[in-house]
Structure 1
């Protein structure tokens, strides 16, 4: 009986010491379910699960915005991955702007994993409008949308480039931009998202549009990152589009263990080609976007980047 009890005790101890499962569970908080960034999150989750033979399980959570994603760091654990522009992480760590009076030591523990497609500004004008520059927007009716980054940024640019008082802002939802353009209700619309942008693809194919380029001087005024959309991205687009972007990065915190961060980052880059085959917006992600990470990279992710030969700055280490 004593031997039997001893054997049972050893067995229990061994079972307790063994992991319940080799599966790594991650929660990925992205954006609203209707956005392209939510679709990206779904693609990342599928790619992670497939490439790891189910060892990495990613659960997608809908978000109301990047600020919320950052704020939730305070209450989340080591399985939390979220997307946000790096500038918001910097503001959170400094307790500035929308984070004023809401500072928390947890913000200092935020670390980058990998860049994802940037929020890219598109000033889309119908061919019938004849507009190819910001000065040409004078006298035109433009749809900005409401409450989004693109709407706020679009309004800012109209003011910066001196055409705000000469433009009529349409009271139409951005979701109706393409039909409104087709029926002549508007001359153009402003949208921000990954490129190729689905609504711009639709407008270019069905109506014919021109996406307005910015000069280097105008880009400098916006204080945003320059981005070039290659010629041929949209129907009828024979030249590169020079515009601005707001970088977006997938982050976690130092609570995540190094092996998980390493595996997530390695799998992301190795599956990017497969994801690009099903969604062209991944084609705009390459090693050059690493420069958009202005904060520190998670040690586990850093291990992958050093193995893969990525150029990493001292500030990112």
Structure 2
């Protein structure tokens, strides 16, 4: 009898830490990408900022569309990243979600923004290119299959450069070396800023990151974003470019308290995360305006406490 009582007591004690933890699965991007690394940083920040109360497991994602699709089979512990535009398409059953609609999509709710996918048109200083008109006759590396490659190709068409630019047949991973040895005049990349490959190119070769004018930004139908002067070596003025906002989402299956704690811990930890990775420095409350759907009630409670106004559509 004493043994049984002891065993029960031991089991109860062992169960206590688990009961005090909130476990979350965070699904972002493929391992090795900057967005996967952001997930790792968020996981570390959540554990530290909550004194171990929130444990986040980072799961490799296969893309933003798949992240949204998994909502159908996931529970209240699922957090994922995707552009707000994809959530809108899923809820409307349009484009890649045509014929794949599901009531679960209507339950998607935003938590907080993360660094946007930011377009960079990076030209070597030696090329002499300072705007899009001067790209004519130049050799540009777009990469293959990525958002940046597709978007870069689109912009060349929009700005009247189709057929006037030589597209290099190489992988984006070779961009800095190719720029340095003169094989290409420039490359296009999309990611959080500061972008590591742009930092490397600016430091080793000397580059000009092109700005878009207001008319060009409007033509792209993307979100305007300003990269502050001094972000890259030799950059003494702001860069006006475009971006695809990215947001961390949950669903209404997540309880309000968990959503509140996740959101509060994220914002409380952001400055510390920025000390370790500069891309967090570009995230601020103004980016909530990029969310054109509903924000989780638990997250909305945090924003109300912080004095951050939400739109009627977000509540």
**TM-based fold match above 0.5:** yes
Partner of 2:148: 150
Distance in 2, Cα, partners of 1:64 & 1:200: 25
CA deviation profile, 1:150-205 (whole Å, cap 9, x unmatched): 00000000000001210011011001110010111110000000000000000000
Partner of 2:174: 176
Distance in 2, Cα, partners of 1:119 & 1:209: 20
Given the alignment, which residue of 48, 51, 56 partners 2:49? 51
Distance in 2, Cα, partners of 1:308 & 1:185: 51
**Secondary structure in 1 matching 2:19:** coil
Stretches of 4+ aligned residues off by more than 4 angstroms: none
Given the alignment, which residue of 34, 39, 43 partners 1:41? 39
**Secondary structure in 1 matching 2:313:** helix
Structure 1 residue 55 displacement after superposition: 1.0
Given the alignment, which residue of 239, 242, 246 partners 2:240? 242
Given the alignment, which residue of 94, 97, 105 partners 1:96? 94
Distance in 2, Cα, partners of 1:253 & 1:115: 15
Equivalences for 1:1-317 in 2 at 5 Å?
A: 21-317=19-315
Distance in 2, Cα, partners of 1:228 & 1:60: 30
Q: Which runs of 5+ in 1 are unaligned?
A: 2-7
**Secondary structure in 2 matching 1:58:** strand
Distance in 1, Cα, partners of 2:204 & 2:263: 38
Partner of 1:4: none
**Secondary structure in 2 matching 1:164:** coil
Structure 1 residue 287 displacement after superposition: 1.0
Distance in 2, Cα, partners of 1:148 & 1:84: 15
CA deviation profile, 1:284-316 (whole Å, cap 9, x unmatched): 001110101110000100110001111111110
CA deviation profile, 1:203-241 (whole Å, cap 9, x unmatched): 000000000100000000000000000000000001100
Structure 1 residue 53 displacement after superposition: 1.3
Distance in 1, Cα, partners of 2:19 & 2:121: 50
Distance in 1, Cα, partners of 2:224 & 2:143: 23
Distance in 1, Cα, partners of 2:65 & 2:178: 31
RMSD across aligned positions (CA): 1.8
Q: Which runs of 5+ in 2 are unaligned?
A: none
**Secondary structure in 2 matching 1:315:** coil
Structure 1 residue 64 displacement after superposition: 1.4
Distance in 2, Cα, partners of 1:175 & 1:273: 30
**Secondary structure in 1 matching 2:163:** helix
Structure 1 residue 21 displacement after superposition: 1.4
Distance in 2, Cα, partners of 1:207 & 1:164: 27
**Secondary structure in 2 matching 1:177:** helix
Distance in 2, Cα, partners of 1:130 & 1:139: 12
Structure 1 residue 127 displacement after superposition: 0.4
Partner of 1:5: none
Q: How many residues align?
A: 308
